[in-house]
Each structure stands twice: as C-alpha cells, then as structure tokens.
Structure 1
C-alpha cells in the first residue's frame, strides 16, 4: 500500500502538470507524458517530446533540449534554442542549464547572434527570478538557488519548506561533511532526519537513502519497508533488487519467499530494452529464478507482471533534471 503522503504528492504533481499543460491537446499531452516517461527510462524520447515542445510546452522544451544535448554530448544550437524557449516560460532548469553552458558552440566559434545572453547573464537571470519566488515560500525555487549558488542555506530552506528532492540532497550533503555541527552525532541525526522526510515525501532516492541508514542502524525491517515503497513507485533499480530479494536471489534482507512476484518484477525490466544498463543483470537473474519455478508459476508471474504494470507508475530511474 502507498502511504498517504505519497498519494498527496502524486495528486499535487498531477494538478501541476494539468495546469501547465492546459494549452496542449489530448494528443500533445499524451506525447509529452510518453516522452518524459521514455526520457526517465534512458530511452530515445525525441520524437514524442518534439510534439509537445513545438506546441509551446516549456517542460517538454526543456526535456527535448536535454535529450538533444545528451545525444550529441554538447549543447547544440537546436538544443540551445529549446532551452531559451523553455526559459521564456519561466523554466528555471532551462535557465540554469544555459547558465552552465560555458563550452557553448557559438561562443567557441565566435558567431553568437547579437543580443544573445551569455552564461553569466543567464545565471543572473535565474538567481533574480528564483530568489523572488524562494523568498515567497517556493521550496523548489530555493532548491534552484542552491544549484545556482552552491550556498547550503538555500538547500536547507528548500528542505525546511518541504521539497522532497531538496531534503534528499541535503541529507547526502550532510553525510559528505557539508554544514557545521558542534556535536559530531548531530550531523548523522540531521542526515537521517532529512532522509526520512524525503522518503515520506515520496522521493525514491530519499527512500533508498533512508533505507540504507536504517540498515546501517540494524533496522532490517525498516529497510525492507522503504525498499518496498521505492519499488512500489517503480524506481527501476529498486524493482530489480526487490524482485531478486523476493525470489531469494540472494536472500539478504529476510523477505518472505515469493518466487512468482520476484520473477514478475524482474521480468518487467526487460521493457527498458537496455535503458539504464540493467539488461545484462536481468538476463543473468531471470534464468536463475526460473530454475526454481514450475511452468504454472511462470505463467502466474507473467499475469502478475501485467497486473503490476497496470496498477503502478511507469518504470523510471528518476534522474536529476540537471544531472549528466
């Protein structure tokens, strides 16, 4: 069962998407949703994202730019165009990507169009706009300010305002030694507190971070709970681990043996077609699980996989928006 806080998070996200996609037709919205799903699975998503991007959707424009940038391994003129269009809709991630584009192609070729903003000017823009929103209580804008400035107090403000990804990142930053604590154990307490907050807020990386902390503290039951929660929102790497655990391949965390569900979950990852690099692991794991099963159990697992897919979000690696 999904916890109430996660369901609330999903409803808020759906409302946000609906509000920001109001100008899209049903077909364009469907293409955008599919494109973002594919992008989050590390699968080609350009054609789907382009449909919504050309319709003027800022979020789709950002993701399309990132898809093009990652495919070419540099910021192409077309990718930059889409980032600029996304920025005009107020997309902070697009602004920040432009601010980080110090190796911009037109700059190196010395043929940038007149009046085009430099990375430094984009940084000023995103800071000005995000600061205003952050000071008005926008938790994600405070997170953007941390990414733009590197100042930990912005990340702390984001976490305190309830942004689950900011809470996860703050937990990891504390574990890395950032921030000041007079008493050494207060650092670990703070890291655990924010990991827990992120997990309860529905962030899959926060769930796994908190699960790892609990396991280190000897709370295996707590680890199992949050591992299962991360799998329930289709965090791909955790789906693989959870399925393997259920099938006792290996039996590391004491899950009740459920070879049918374990096989079903691991088999779902075949649809990624290599996205995220799990194909080798899946190809190695499934035969080992199948060796323990009867033909009837395998058929049951195939049916269970269909039911799981219909009742859970699409598989996702939940990449950071400004990751690679």
Structure 2
C-alpha cells in the first residue's frame, strides 16, 4: 500500500499545483480533462481542457496543444495557439514541441504569420531556460536538457538526482544494449535503475522491475510490484492483476479472490474504449462472473466504485512529450 499511497500523493500534488488559482469550475474541468487525456480519450478531454486553458492554466494549454496536434498529425493553428500560450507561461515542454514541429500547416501552405518564431528559436529558448534550472540542481530540467541535446550525460545526472522518468529511460537504454558493460554488470545496472524508478512511483518501471524479479525466480517480488502498479492505476496492469486474482489465468501464485479480481477488471469499464481496453474487459468479465454468485458480483461492483474514489485514476501513463 505504501507505493500506491506515494503515487496517489504525487498525483494529488500535481493536480493541486496545476490547478492553483483556477476557479472551481476550471479546476474541476482540468482534473477531469487530464484524466481523460491519460485514458486515451482525447476527443472527450478537449472541451474540458479548453475551459482551464482559457482560464490561463499553462498545463491545460500544453495538453490542449498536444490533443490538437495528435488528432491532426501535424501542427495546425489550434495546436500552435495553445502551445504558444503555454510556452509564454514558461512551459519548456511546449517550447520543445514548437521547436520540433516539422509539419506545421502554415509552413506547408507558406502563409505563416509575420514574426512567428521559427522552431530553432523555440528550441534555443527552451535550452537556455532548462540549462539555468539544471545548473541549480533541478532533476526534471536535467531530463529536459537530455531531450534537447540527446546527451546521455544529462539523463545520467537526472537519474542520479532521483528523477523517476530518467531512471526508467536509463533502464530501458541499458536493457536495449546501450553503454559498455561486462555481461553480468549490464543486468545489475538495468535492475538498479528500474528498481529506483519503481520505488520512486513510476508504474511502467514497477512492471519492468517485476519482470526482472520473476526471471530471477522471485515470484513474491513479482506479485508485490504487480500489485503496486495496479494500485497506482496503470491500466494494463489493472487488467492483468484482476485477471490473476480471479485465476483467469491462474498464474504467478496469486491467491484466488473472485470479488477483488472482478472489481479490478470492472473498474476498467470507465475507459469506455480508451486505449482499446474495452474489448479485453468485455471478454474477461463474463468468464470471471461465471464463477461468482449474483451477490458477489454486486459486491465487486461496489468495491470498484470505492477503489475509484480512494486511488489515482486509471491511466495509460502516456509520455508527456509525445511524437
């Protein structure tokens, strides 16, 4: 429960910081909009993010820009407008996306407004600001410097400073063969970074670390981190964890708990198609339900409702800097 509590507190801290100064209506819209965005329901997120973005919220402006760009697969005027609004508030991620834009609609039609900053200007501005923060020891700024320069030294510094996302990418890089190690040392480094990131609350690393533990024969460790990722709301693991608890399939030695297993899988119904999860849910629930009484199914649905209130929203944890 400790790790899930950390994840919940981190989410609440993010929401509180992001919504500071917003009206109650805009704050509520932003929280719901971000939840929908992270559930891969971008079209539903846009109207809600627009409320908070129009109220001047920098994070909502960034994700609204992301939503428009991803929907159209290029930098259309709406995406640019909201990225620029966010960048004007100092958002480094917005500056990076503006700097990386290779498919700006106005460039294609050759009618960009006079005075519009060029991509390289946004990248240089982001680099200057991020470098100032990184030199003061900001781990996230160090990660941004890595994104801007692709210099692995920045990723190493960020990871060593405790930034969970950088630790995750260190683990991924070494797992894929980056760097030079003796064979057994590579495995040690991969495990070290995934473990640190998992302990820092990053669900994707929890599952990577869980897999490593399973491969070493530590089944109890695998079960622990699988549960922590599910409690943090990582949608893919919520599905797997619920299935294992219901013994559908009976794997990894999870104790049989039909009510809890059904509740976890049922909780994914709120995705309603987000991330293509609904097909899995509709397939699995009847199989679990066939082993339950009507009273147990009602109990499981009540448990799912209570779980939703007491845990972070179900999420796919998409990369903030999407392609």
TM over 0.5: yes
Counterpart of 1:22 in structure 2 is 20
- TM-score, normalisation: structure 2: 0.95
Deviation at 1:120, TM superposition (A): 1.6
CA distance in 2, matches of 1:130, 1:321: 16
Deviation at 1:172, TM superposition (A): 0.4
Deviation at 1:34, TM superposition (A): 0.7
- TM-score, normalisation: structure 1: 0.95
Deviation at 1:10, TM superposition (A): 4.8
1:55-112 C-alpha deviation (Å, 9 max, x unpaired): 1111000001111111222211111010011011111111111111012111121111
CA distance in 2, matches of 1:2, 1:246: 20
Q: Which runs of 5+ in 1 are unaligned?
A: none
1:139-167 C-alpha deviation (Å, 9 max, x unpaired): 11111111111111111111111111111
Deviation at 1:180, TM superposition (A): 3.1
Deviation at 1:184, TM superposition (A): 2.6
- Which range moves more in the overlay, 149-158 or 14-23? 14-23
Q: Secondary structure at the match of 2:2?
A: coil
Counterpart of 2:303 in structure 1 is 304
Deviation at 1:322, TM superposition (A): 1.3
Counterpart of 1:292 in structure 2 is 291
Counterpart of 1:103 in structure 2 is 103
1:203-248 C-alpha deviation (Å, 9 max, x unpaired): 0011111111111111111110000000001111110000000000
CA distance in 2, matches of 1:11, 1:318: 16
Counterpart of 2:32 in structure 1 is 34
CA distance in 2, matches of 1:257, 1:12: 31
CA distance in 2, matches of 1:98, 1:76: 11
Counterpart of 2:314 in structure 1 is 315
Deviation at 1:18, TM superposition (A): 3.0
- How many residue pairs match? The answer is 321
Counterpart of 2:145 in structure 1 is 145
Partners of 2:239 and 2:265 within 8 A in 1:
yes
CA distance in 2, matches of 1:12, 1:247: 30
Change (3 A) 1:10 1:136: farther
User: Does 2:62 align with 1:62?
Assistant: yes
CA distance in 2, matches of 1:263, 1:129: 48
Partners of 2:259 and 2:297 within 8 A in 1:
yes
Deviation at 1:8, TM superposition (A): 5.0
Deviation at 1:188, TM superposition (A): 1.4
Counterpart of 1:228 in structure 2 is 227
CA distance in 2, matches of 1:189, 1:32: 41
Counterpart of 2:175 in structure 1 is 175
Partners of 2:8 and 2:232 within 8 A in 1:
no
Deviation at 1:47, TM superposition (A): 0.6
User: Does 2:126 align with 1:121?
Assistant: no
Partners of 2:7 and 2:312 within 8 A in 1:
no
Change (3 A) 1:280 1:11: closer
Q: Secondary structure at the match of 2:302?
A: helix
Change (3 A) 1:127 1:217: same
Deviation at 1:16, TM superposition (A): 5.1
- Which range moves more in the overlay, 267-276 or 118-127? 118-127
Change (3 A) 1:252 1:16: closer
1:15-36 C-alpha deviation (Å, 9 max, x unpaired): 4543443221111111111100
Partners of 2:131 and 2:145 within 8 A in 1:
yes
CA distance in 2, matches of 1:253, 1:323: 34
Counterpart of 1:195 in structure 2 is 194
Deviation at 1:298, TM superposition (A): 1.1
Partners of 1:2 and 1:232 within 8 A in 2:
no
